[in-house]
Amino acid sequence: MPRNPRDPMHNASLMQHLHRNASLCARTNLVVRVEAISLANHAAFCSVEQHMRGGFWRTCSVEELTHLAERALAPLIGLGYMPMITVHHKDLRNARAGMPPLPLFPLGAWLARLRAWLGRPGVGEGFDAHAIDRDPFGWSAALQRAVPKAP
């Protein structure tokens, strides 16, 4: 018997799966975002790219990024949304991510940046690790923007 996508227990397990996937993406150098939800609530417009390149990070191909994003966003299908993924990649000449600018003086900030560039972010850290706990892939924020506001 197929599960009801509106079942609260089913939705809770899918949200836990989405949180685990978001944590894994953050630790493995991927930036996956849910940019918007269609007003008909059938499609989730998403993007994927690699956050940092260099050092010991392996550069993924366009196909690899697509596959990894599809796997990460698979729980959305169970929630009733079809992920539509835009890939940002240097080969496509539309890459956006890079190292964030740092102040000139804090040594700790430079050491953290060097550690991340070498492919070793701190324990439990990664790109936007704190936002993942609250909102995996920006899912909740995109869902709130998609709901038409009452007059």
Could you report the average pLDDT of every consecutive run of 10 residues in the chain (151 residues)?
Answer: 56 87 84 89 90 69 92 91 91 64 60 69 46 72 71 52
Whether residue 136 lies inside any domain: the answer is no
Tell me the C-alpha to C-alpha distance, in Å, between residue 116 and each of 8, 89, 127: 38, 20, 9
The structure tokens 């685990």 sit at: 20
Helices 8-27 and 62-72: crossing angle, nearest 10°? 150
Whether residue 2 lies inside any domain: the answer is no
Predicted local distance difference test score (pLDDT) of residue 99: 47
Number of H helices, E strands in the chain: 6, 3
Question: Model's pTM, two decimal places?
Answer: 0.67
Predicted local distance difference test score (pLDDT) of residue 98: 52
Give the total number of structural domains in the chain.
Answer: 1
Predicted local distance difference test score (pLDDT) of residue 45: 94
Predicted local distance difference test score (pLDDT) of residue 87: 92
The residue segments making up the domain with residue 117 are 8-123
Provide the residue type at 140 as one letter: S
Whether residue 17 lies inside any domain: the answer is yes
